[in-house]
Amino acid sequence: MDLDGTLREIADCSVLSDADAVAGYAVDWTGRWRGGPALVARPRTVEAVAAVLAACARAGVPVVPQGGNTGLVAGSVPPAGAVVLSLTGLDAIGSVVDGVVTAGAGVTLAALESFAAARGLTCGLSLASGESATVGGAAATNAGGAEVLRYGTARARIAGLRAVLSDGAVLDRCRPPAKDNTGYDLVDQLIGSEGTLAVITDVTWRLDPAPGERTVLALAFPSVSEAVAAVPVLRGLPGLLALEWSDGAAVARVAAHLDAPAPLPTDGCWVFAEFDGAPEAAGVVAGLLPDDRIAVGAGPEDRVRLWRYRARTTEAVNAAGVPVKLDVGVPLEEFAAARAAIVDAVAAVSPDVEPVLFGHLAEGNLHVNLLARAGDRIPEGLAEELESAVLEQVLTFGGTVSAEHGIGRAKRAWLARQRGDGQVALMRRLKSAWDPSGLLNPGVLFEREDR
Ligand code: FAD
Ligand code: MLT
Ligand code: ZN
């Protein structure tokens, strides 16, 4: 029997092969990366996941795990002929025991957070993609987000997981003992492995007490260096949950997209500082800037109204065209100089490209989004030139070419530049140990022929 027929015989699994039905699984969120899956398998149980993987292994067909398909480095975009293994059907959430809960890989971050909020808790991972991004995807990418400074990245939130290997064998580390020094930490290896080592089916997630009423402050600094200089003061304030930034021009873009005039000047750099509670912080912050450069969002509606100038940037960028997305990090003391060097490097390659910059200030994380000033998209050759120009600058400043989105297929040429040949060789050996046939997400992290 052919693979399509074999997969259709698996219990608790639906299979899509019609071109229209698979189309949504073949393209990434930005529209830049496209693939050509042969089939999409949608299992609803761990047994069905194992059966799909075993069948693909027997047929020698590559498998691309996919959650919400919100990743920004083409990690879930299937090469031609691959099977997309969509995990969204694994959507059960268990009970809270000892402050953790086990959720199916397909549970969205929004669903996990509303489950937690109903119990006075938070999952501590806040992404603007949370309505679609899944806990499996968050684990596989070690996702970050706005509240990393308070709750850490996904790695800090995950207490255990269950996964299926490429031959169909199940690895169960859902509930490891709180203290357990027995050998290598296999859970930790799978976090951030981008679907190249195993398919995650369940994640045991740590929940924390939810913050009280939140207050967000937007601070419109006249320059990036003044914004960076304020970081130590803001970081020292009690109850800080998030510290984000946007170029004034990026805020102006969001304001135009939403048809909602910005409440503060957009000449420099905005900082968004969110607090648990109403900050005594407000007094301290008043000393940093004049009143007409500070806005306060207190109460749920005002908070969302102010946050949208940061949270909806990705949406505003996508509405303007197909972006080239870079996600870099630099030491905070180099932040202002690195940002200026990045802007100059882009202009030197092409004056026809507009950089839109924003990100996570607390971690020195810059999202560098590049848009064609005219037309829908930047041609691919130019995109690579721009990418090189920006990433070379980042390396010069001692930074990272991928702070939170991962390597995927989009950044694999830069992995060895960042980590060195020796570490990449070790990563390849790990890949071979977990996935000897090389059928799991080929082309992610490493060139296919290099695996
Ligand atoms: P997918 O996009 O489906 O997959 C991502 C990668 O994980 C792929 O390599 C895939 O093969 C693998 N994968 C997915 N599920 C599994 C599984 N169950 N087992 C094994 N491998 C799997 N990221 C951040 O870190 N911080 C942010 O603040 C942030 N904000 C975003 C805002 C927007 C508007 C958008 C569109 C994206 C944002 N992202 C952010 C990126 C993205 O949302 C995260 O990387 C998220 O964790 C991806 O989850 P997903 O379920 O969509 O995974
Ligand atoms: C964000 O912080 O908003 C995201 O990582 C999304 C993006 O980079 O566009
Ligand atoms: Zn981000």
Tell me the mean pLDDT in the region 21-33: 97
Least confident range from 52-66, 79-93, 272-286, 408-422: namely 272-286
pLDDT in tens, 135-149: 999 999 999 999 999
Nearest Cα residue to atom 2 of ligand 2:
359
CA of 135 to the centre of ligand 1 (A): 9
Nearest alpha carbon to residue 330 among 321, 343, 339, 319: 339
| Buried residues in 190-201 as b, exposed as e (16+ CB within 10 A) | bbbbbbbbbbbb
Q: Is 441 in the pocket of ligand 2 (CB under 6 A)?
A: no
Q: Is 318 in the pocket of ligand 2 (CB under 6 A)?
A: no
Measured over the CA atoms of residue 76, residue 81, residue 82 and residue 83, the dihedral's sign is: positive
Identify the nearest ligand to the CA of 130 by its number. Answer: 1
Identify the nearest ligand to the CA of 70 by its number. Answer: 1
Nearest atom, ligand 2, residue 404 CA: 5
pLDDT of residue 282: 63
pLDDT exceeds cutoff 50 at 451: no
pLDDT in tens, 428-441: 999 999 999 999 99
CA of 73 to the centre of ligand 1 (A): 9
The answer to whether the predicted template modeling score (pTM) of the entire model surpasses 0.90 is: yes
CA 359 to chain centre: 12
**What are the chain's domains?**
3-86 (3.30.43.10), 93-209 (3.30.465.10), 212-316 (3.30.70.2190)
Burial class of residue 170, CB neighbours in 10 A (0-12, 13-18, 19+) = middle
272, 313, 361, 366, best to mutate for ligand 2 pocket (most atoms within 8 Å of CB): 313
Q: Is 367 in the pocket of ligand 2 (CB under 6 A)?
A: yes
Question: Any residues with Cβ below 6 Å from ligand 1, and which?
Answer: 29, 64-72, 75-76, 87, 105, 127-129, 132-134, 136-138, 140-141, 143-145, 194-195, 199-200, 314, 404-405, 408, 441, 444
pLDDT of residue 1: 72
Three-class SS of 171-184: EEECCCCCCCCCCC
CA of 305 to the centre of ligand 2 (A): 18
pLDDT in tens, 185-196: 999 999 999 999
Q: Is 413 in the pocket of ligand 2 (CB under 6 A)?
A: no
CA of 142 to the centre of ligand 1 (A): 9
Do 326 and 367 meet the contact criterion of CB atoms below 8 Å apart?
A: yes
pLDDT of residue 39: 97
